[in-house]
Amino acid sequence: MNLIKRLAVYCGSAIGSEPVFADATRATAQAMVGHGVDLVYGGGRLGLMGLIADSVLELGGEVHGVIPQALVDIEVAHPGLTELITVANMHERKAKMTELADGFLALPGGIGTLDELFEAWSWNALGYHAKPFCLLNVEGFWDGLIEFIEHAHRSGFLSKQRRSQLLVATSPDDALKLLDEAAAAATQGMVW
């Protein structure tokens, strides 16, 4: 059963220093389209964001971008998406992406990627949604963050339940499988 029909992918507006980041982004697009999963993302044309949008579109998938007007004004919006939604600010962008998506996947990125991931996780913890989220740990990119999450758990600031919610995959296919399993558990009222 494929419960993840639309996946919000958070990733860098830069391409990154290693070719493996772009390779993983293209592989993610291929896995998504292969599983019939549409892309929800930040609407930009730069970096890994632009690459995943272009890749999904080239493979025949649908891409739904959400971008603040300020970024449209400086011409970073992707011009060829299935749908481009313009919002007033970053908060509205994240809220709209959360509304549109069935789950969340973080590829390599910087502070914007972290902001989006942690807001999705926080909103889940507060009961605003029950949608799963996953890190795609490309060549150990997220190892430091995973260790910090473990440290927060060991230090008593993150419960076992909350810690277990952060899914980690090393391949796009595994990420989609983990997200779908977590979405199925959530629909059955189980804690994932």
What are the residue boundaries of the structural domains of the chain, listed by start? 6-186
What the block records as the tokens of 89 is 């600010």
Only one residue has tokens 């076992």, namely 160
Segment 143-166 shows an average pLDDT of: 96
Residue 45 confidence class, pLDDT cut points 50, 70, 90: very high
pLDDT at 192 over 80: no
Counting residues of the chain whose pLDDT is more than 90, the rounded percentage is: 94
Residue 32 confidence class, pLDDT cut points 50, 70, 90: very high
- 40 phi/psi in degrees, rounded to 5: -115, 130
Q: Cβ(105)–Cβ(40) under 8 Å?
A: no
Number of Cβ within 10 Å of residue 157's Cβ equals 10
d(CA 97, CA 60): 21
130-148 pLDDT tens trace? 999 999 999 999 999 999 9
Distances (CA, A) of 135 to 7, 44, 98, 119, 174: 13, 20, 16, 14, 11
> Beta strands 63-68 and 83-87: pairing type?
parallel
- 140 phi/psi in degrees, rounded to 5: 75, 15
Domain spanning 6-186: CATH 3.40.190.10: no
Q: Is 59 left (phi over 0), alpha (psi -120 to 50) or beta?
A: alpha
Number of Cβ within 10 Å of residue 123's Cβ equals 16
Distances (CA, A) of 166 to 9, 31, 58, 125, 159: 15, 20, 30, 11, 12
* Dihedral sign of CA atoms 24, 29, 33, 35 in order: positive
Reported pTM: 0.95
113-126 pLDDT tens trace? 999 999 999 999 99
Q: Cβ(99)–Cβ(123) under 8 Å?
A: no
d(CA 182, CA 120): 15
5-31 pLDDT tens trace? 999 999 999 999 999 999 999 999 999
